[in-house]
Amino acid sequence: MGSRINSLHGLRLGNDVSVGPGSVIEVDGSIDDFVLIARNVQIVGRMDHDISSVGTPIVHATWVGDRDARQVDTVHIGRDVWIGAGTIVLGGVTIGEGSVIGAGSVVTKDIPPYSIAVGSPAKRVGPRFSDDSDRSEHSAALDVLSKKEQSH
């Protein structure tokens, strides 16, 4: 539905991942099980062109595909994450398991597990679950579901 997924050095997709129309994923890394990516989300690198080479126009600078992979090229999205419409996720970040990213956010730094994060740049505004026992119970349920998905 008009979405594009591309990785130069490797991207692992888990089971039951949904990518909405018009989304672009152009990074290395991993997207775990049960991830919901809404429409028009961009998950893109932040260092795709070398901007530090004195005397070299950016259009002629070293491109990410012409060099070895770096940590800043990767994105890791944990299980059961929902990324809202129009969000931009930049390379070099991890979005922890169970997190929700509000529509239109720009994720430039790691988001802890089971967080609700919004804004530009995205910041944690609260927890997804009100207590640790709910979080632990939910994570255990995801373990069971992931094992079922892997056995199919």
**SS3 per-residue string spanning 81-141:** CEECCCCEEECCEEECCCCEECCCCEECCCECCCEEEECCCCEEEEECCCCHHHHHHHHHH
Q: Sorting pLDDT into bands at 50, 70 and 90, what band is 27?
A: very high
Please state the rounded mean pLDDT for residues 10-27. Answer: 95
The pLDDT value recorded for residue 61 is 81
Query: Any idea which of 34-43, 112-121, 140-149 has the lowest mean pLDDT?
Result: 140-149
- The answer to whether residue 2 scores a pLDDT higher than 80 is yes
Beta-strand relationship, 115-118 and 123-127: antiparallel
What percent of the chain lies above the pLDDT cut of 70? 100
In the block, residue with structure tokens 């775990």: 32
Model pLDDT, residue 69: 75
Residue 8: pLDDT band (50, 70, 90) is confident
**How far from 67 is each of 4, 61, 105, 110, CA to CA, in Å?**
22, 11, 29, 24
At residue 31, the pLDDT reads 98
pTM of the model: 0.90
The pLDDT tens digits of the residues spanning 67-88 come to 777 788 799 999 999 999 999 9
Judge whether residue 138 has pLDDT over 90.
Answer: yes
Half-sphere exposure at residue 104, Cβ-oriented, CA atoms within 13 angstroms: 1
Instruction: Indicate the CATH number of 4-150 among 3.40.50.300, 3.30.420.40, 2.160.10.10, 2.170.150.20.
Output: 2.160.10.10
Rounded Cα distance, 75 and 72, in Å: 8
Look at 37-51, 108-122, 130-144 and tell me which has the smallest mean pLDDT. 37-51
* Residues 82 and 36 sit within 8 Å (Cβ to Cβ): yes
How far is 144 from 152, CA to CA, in rounded Å? 13
Q: What would the two tokens of residue 109 be?
A: 């730094």
- Provide, rounded to the nearest whole percent, the portion of the chain with pLDDT above 90: 71
